[in-house]
Amino acid sequence: MTGVAGPQPDRTRPRSQPYPLPAHAISYASTKFAAGCRQLGWSWVANPVAILSQPYDGRPGCNYCANCGRGCPRLDKGSADITFIKKARETGKCTIRPGCQVTQLEAGPDDRVRRVVYLDPQDKPQAVNAAAVVVACGAVETPRLLLLSQNRHARDGLANESAQVGRHFMEI
C-alpha cells in the first residue's frame, strides 16, 4: 500500500515476497561507504524506504528535493496521510475529525475498546462508538492516552495489567 522501495532479496533480510519497487539509486557518499565496508570484509545493503523510487499507485516517484521532513509536496513519501488515510477515506467508512483531541478510550468487559471520547474543536466532549480502534499516537502520547483510559474494566488504564505502560522509555 505504501510503495516500499527496497533492495532485491538477500539472505540477510528474508522476505515472503520482493519489495513492490526497486531500491533507490545509491548516492555517491553511499558508494564510498559501501566500498569501505567491502574493504573491511563487511556487507552493506541499503535500507528499504517508503519513498517511491518510481511512479506507484497514481503517485510520482521521488525527485530528491529533500522536503521529506516538511511533508512531501509531491506525495511520493509513504506517510499515513498519503497512503492509509487516503485509502480509508475512499471506502466511505472513514471520517476525519480535524481539531479534535482524544481524551479517553472506553473498554468493555471483553477488554476491547468500544468507544472513543474526545473534545471537539470547541472543547465540547463528544464520543463515538467503534468496532475497531487503532491507537498510533507515538511513544509519549500513546501511553498517556492508555493510562488516562481507566474505567471499571481497565482499573490501571488500558493494556496496563502489568503496570508497564509508559515505563522504560528511552530516547537516543
pLDDT in tens, 158-172: 999 899 998 988 776
For the stretch 137-154, pLDDT in tens is 888 999 999 999 999 988
The pLDDT score that the predictor gives to residue 172 is 64
Mean pLDDT of the chain: 90
What does 131-165 look like in DSSP terms, one character per residue? S------HHHHHHHHHHH--BTTBTT-TT-TTS-T
d(CA 6, CA 76): 15
DSSP 80: T
Residue 33, pLDDT above cutoff 90:
yes
Q: Where are the domains of the chain?
A: 1-95, 97-172
Residue 28 pLDDT class (50, 70, 90 cuts): very high
Cell for 130? 467503534
pTM: 0.67
Distance of CA 86 to the CA centre of its chain: 14
